[in-house]
Structure 1
């Protein structure tokens, strides 16, 4: 009987040669190349440049506290990457936003993204984070525990263009608290184009 489905999934992927790790600033170019390639392939050249640039800025400012980056490697090749960035409230609470996420086109559909996200969420739990939020496709993120989140509970840092994509999950085992204020995000996300 499996005690940890994430552990089983990770073990399966590790047996296939994938390694998950926390990345630092030295991986900026690899991260930018991955995000540019993935988003260009799926969303077009303009979106590829936009998200590639965002990922480059985030990677340049990785501090493993406000901006945390995780990567999935197959051998020496980066095949997936995610960022978690801190949202700040007046209330003393640790909330991180998951975005952006990229898995190389040839590795999509194999559980790499889910394993990488679960790895990141486990790391945040170790750091006593309370909540993780994201802004994306509910059908994908529900697979890793995210649920629709009302902005009456936790607001996005900027006005959302598609409110149904605002999602969250408790990392502390309790319910998501309601916080009646708009958080401050890292400067890289402080642009309406991402929302």
Structure 2
């Protein structure tokens, strides 16, 4: 498996991967919703605010995760949000997702990102160092329907401390349907 942050020329394959995976797990409507989200993220998010990672088996796209900037006006730390993530249905359970996240976090650390956040299953993401965090310690950009899924980790080697002020996500994620 090869991991790359180069999406150029693979945009449609990335969108299809997310649409297919979410359709398989949550139905066609969810697949369409997440496919639309990924398309908007890839086409409308400023380059400095989006860091994609792809897992390839030869030329085949088998997984992808997108990290986008989560801005805090009152805190100087650089924070990126992991969302969404997908592993091709037939590759699930083979360690692709965990390897992809670990490689992405290592690269983000090397880029100087201070904190990584995600909104998902603490049992899955906990395997890569994410831990529950309250919205009082790290504000979500929109109200969370499942606050127990708000998880984060420090990437700069220091303990995660509260982040000051409210947060703002990229435009594509600024929709209550995702939260």
Q: Indicate whether the TM-score tops 0.5.
A: yes
Counterpart of 1:164 (choices 145, 148, 166) is 148
| Rounded Cα–Cα distance in structure 1 between residues aligned with 2:46 and 2:111 | 14
Structure 1 unpaired stretches of 5+: 1-17
Instruction: Give the Å deviation of 1:150.
Output: 0.9
Q: Looking at CA atoms only, which structure, 1 or 2, has the larger radius of gyration?
A: 1
User: Please, what is the CA RMSD of the aligned residues?
Assistant: 1.1
- Is the contact made by 2:83 and 2:118 (CA closer than 8 Å) also made in structure 1? yes
- For residue 94 of structure 2, the aligned residue among 87, 110, 113 is 110
Q: Does 1:174 align with 2:124?
A: no
The alpha-carbon deviation at position 63 of structure 1 amounts to 4.9
Mapped partners of 2:8, 2:171: distance in 1: 17
Contact 2:69 2:81 in 1 (8 A): yes
Shift in CA distance, 115/64, structure 1 to aligned 2, threshold 3 Å: farther
TM-score scaled to structure 1, two decimals? 0.88
**Equivalent residue number for residue 79 of structure 1:** 62
CA distance in 1, matches of 2:104, 2:34: 20
Partner of 2:104: 120
CA distance in 2, matches of 1:61, 1:102: 20
Q: Tell me, which stretches of 5 or more residues in structure 2 are unaligned?
A: none
Work out whether 1:47 is the aligned partner of 2:30: yes
Q: Residues 64, 24 of structure 1: CA spacing in aligned structure 2 closer, same or farther, 3 A cutoff?
A: farther
Aligned: 1:22 with 2:5: yes
Instruction: Report if the CA contact (8 A) 2:7-2:54 is conserved.
Output: no
Q: Does residue 85 of structure 2 align to residue 101 of structure 1?
A: yes
| Cα distance between partner residues in 1 of 2:57 and 2:157 | 32
How far apart are the structure 2 equivalents of 1:152 and 1:179?
Answer: 9
* TM-score when normalising by structure 2: 0.96
Displacement of 1:55: 1.0
| Higher RCO by CA contacts (8 Å cutoff, separation 6 or greater) | 2
How many angstroms does 1:64 deviate by?
4.5
**Residues 1:65 and 2:48 aligned together:** yes
